[in-house]
Amino acid sequence: MSLPSSSSSSSHLTRSFLLSLLFTSIVASAFSDNEEAQIHHFQQYLRIRTAHPDPDYTAAASFLLSLAHFIGLQTLTLQFAPNKPLLLLTWPGSDPSLPSILLNSHIDSVPAEPDKWIHPPFSATRDPDTGRIYARGAQDDKCIAIQYLEAIRSLKRSGFSPLRSVHISLVPDEEIGGADGFEKLAQSEEFRKLNVGLVLDEGQASPSDEFRVFYADRSPWRLFVKATGSPGHGSRMYDGTAIEKLMVCAEAIARFRDSQFDMVKAGISPASEVISINPVYMKSGTPSPSGFVMNVQPSEAEMGFDLRLPPTVDPEQLKERINKEWVPSFKNMSYTLLQKGPIKDCNGKLLITLTNESNPWWPVFEKAVISSGKKLAKPEILSSTTDARFMREMGIPTFGFSPMANTPILLHDHNEFLKDEVFVKGIKVYESIISALSSFNLASSV
Ligand SMILES: *[C@@H]1O[C@H](CO)[C@@H](O)[C@H](O)[C@H]1NC(C)=O
Ligand SMILES: *[C@@H]1O[C@H](CO)[C@@H](O)[C@H](O)[C@H]1NC(C)=O
Ligand SMILES: [Zn+2]
């Protein structure tokens, strides 16, 4: 269910954009007036507090809608849960029957601890010496929302018009799982009508001068192991206590974890291409008023693990390993393995977006990045999960890409920042990408 709401423009806010353009023209800067306006829009968006647990989606939506109206985009506001607006902005193509491009960005961000920051996390302070703009969301991922919008503004001003339609989705709740955000959008009639052929979603900063691009997420699993055994006095040594059995299991898992982590440490595999497994809780013992009873060996023990599988790993092999090595049932241990989300798309294919000639969008995207004077690193799997999974589950190719080269990875960290020049260069990169993807006509192969 979605409730379309009013999309009338706010002339007051539109005037303030015009004023901001005029105002910035009198400030001396290494940037053009137009670039200063782009940076200013970024700062305005960063100052809206959309961090959990109480994101101000209303203020963010009103700001983004007024920027969209200023640029001249069509807007539609959907709402799949109260006070959680989801915006769809559209730049119609001259042939709307072609599969469209969707540029996605989430409006929300994770919380920040202000006392650990050198500038307040919602001030969007721009350091005059370094050009760093400090704010929660500067990298993850408010930068791309404004970059999409500014790239379209520039392309429109240059007289470019797209062949296929270009849509922007600005969605709530990505940082808390996306259940009232992209997940609902993906199931909606409005989404089906967009006829999306390719999605660009958030990526990650790159400390080198090569941009990073992501073609898959790792899938999150949860492993719960339970052991039961004979209880007994704390002083007795005997076989088959619950905790002793669980310790043997934990040791086997630790050896496996080392084997994976060693490949990362030796530089053989990126962290996102191995199986990660980390203990996240341990539960046992007999509570007493002062802590735990120390002279009783308990009859039950339990441990939980966070597991992340690259999409290329066969979960059946993992289950075999658990049954044979980690949790042998003859020892009276049991386990539950929970898979969070599907591991195949709606066509039964692996949840990956091809980054070779078999995906006709890939060479166009790659060429567009390179022709903007940039380098692209080898495509990667993302260690965590993003809204991109909802699109890949529907079989829609999705690249994770945030154009932040020469930038430390600071998402969810203290003092998250993006340099003004990196932000402005990113807009140029999107101009190249959006114009290439939206004018590319290979309808027969897409
Ligand atoms: C497993 O549990 C059963 C039933 O409680 C018990 O008879 C058996 O001895 C246990 N086996 C081991 C290896 O602890
Ligand atoms: C692209 O990669 C996929 C998966 O690795 C492979 O099956 C396919 O043959 C490749 N296509 C080309 C043209 O290399
Ligand atoms: Zn993000």
Q: What residue owns the CA closest to ligand 2's atom 6?
A: 358
Q: What 3-state class would DSSP assign to 63?
A: helix
Tens of pLDDT, residues 71-128 = 999 999 999 999 999 999 999 999 999 999 999 999 999 999 999 999 999 999 999 9
For the chain, domain boundaries: 11-213+355-445, 219-339
**Mind listing the pLDDT tens digit for each residue in 392-404?**
999 999 999 999 9
Alpha carbon distance 269, 275 (integer Å) = 11
Q: Give pLDDT tens digits for 366-376.
A: 999 999 888 99
| Model confidence at 141: pLDDT above 50 | yes
Protein residue closest via CA to atom 1 of ligand 1: 332
On the question of pLDDT at 2 being above 50, the answer is no
- Per-residue pLDDT of 304-344, as tens digits, reads 999 999 988 888 999 999 999 999 887 889 999 998 878 88
**In the predicted model, what is the mean pLDDT of residues 38-61?**
98
- Residue 342 has a pLDDT of 81
Q: Which residues surround ligand 3, an ion (CB under 5 A)?
A: 140-141, 202
pLDDT of residue 290: 94
Instruction: State both tokens at 45.
Output: 């968006």
Q: For all residues of the chain together, what is the average pLDDT?
A: 92
- Best of 228, 332, 333, 334 to mutate for ligand 1, by most ligand atoms within 8 A of CB? 332
354 lines ligand 2 (CB under 6 A): yes
In this structure, are residues 78 and 172 in contact, taking their beta carbons and an 8 Å threshold?
A: no
Residue pLDDT, tens place only, 423-440: 999 999 999 999 999 998
The response to whether residue 312 sits with its C-beta less than 6 Å from ligand 2 reads no
Please check the confidence at residue 442 and state whether its pLDDT lies above 70: no
Task: Tell me the C-alpha distance between 229 and 249, whole Å.
Answer: 14
Quick one: pLDDT band at residue 150, thresholds 50, 70, 90?
very high
Q: Does 298 or 330 have the greater pLDDT score?
A: 298
DSSP per-residue letters across 33-57? HHHHHHHHHHHHHHTS--BTTS--H
- 189: tokens are 């009639």
Q: Is 431 annotated as a binding residue?
A: no
| Phi-psi region at 257: left, alpha or beta (left = phi > 0; alpha = psi -120 to 50) | alpha
Confidence band of 385 (pLDDT split at 50, 70, 90): confident
Across 357-384, average pLDDT = 93
Residue 19 reports pLDDT greater than 90: no
Predicted local confidence at residue 331, as pLDDT? 83
- Other beta carbons within 10 angstroms of residue 263's beta carbon come to 15
Q: What is the mean pLDDT of residues 172-199?
A: 96
Provide the pLDDT confidence category of residue 198 given band limits of 50, 70 and 90: very high
8, pLDDT greater than 90 = no
CATH of 11-213+355-445, one of 3.20.20.70, 3.20.20.80, 3.40.630.10, 3.40.50.620: 3.40.630.10
Rounded Cα distance, 162 and 179, in Å: 32
- Confidence check: pLDDT of 3 > 50: no
Question: Among 415, 441, 383, which Cα is nearest to 204's?
Answer: 383
The answer to the question of whether 233 is labelled as a binding residue is no
Query: Is 238 close to ligand 1, i.e. is its CB under 6 Å away?
Result: no
| pLDDT at res. 314 | 87
Class of domain 219-339: alpha beta
| Contact (CB, 8 A) for 236 and 260 | no
- Ligand 2 site, residue 358, Cβ cutoff 6 A: yes
* Two domains, one topology: 11-213+355-445 and 219-339: no
User: How far away, in angstroms, is 357 Cα from ligand 2 center?
Assistant: 7
Percent of the chain whose pLDDT exceeds 70: 92
Asked if the model's pLDDT at residue 43 lies above 80, the reply is yes
Between 22 and 419, residue with greater pLDDT: 419
Structure confidence at residue 6 (pLDDT): 41
Catalytic residue among 108, 141, 173, 273: 108
Average pLDDT of the segment spanning 356-372: 95
3-state secondary structure of 58: helix
In the predicted model, is pLDDT for residue 29 greater than 80? no
Q: What is the DSSP pairing of strand 232-233 with strand 196-201?
A: unpaired
For residue 432, what pLDDT is reported? Answer: 97
- pTM here is 0.83
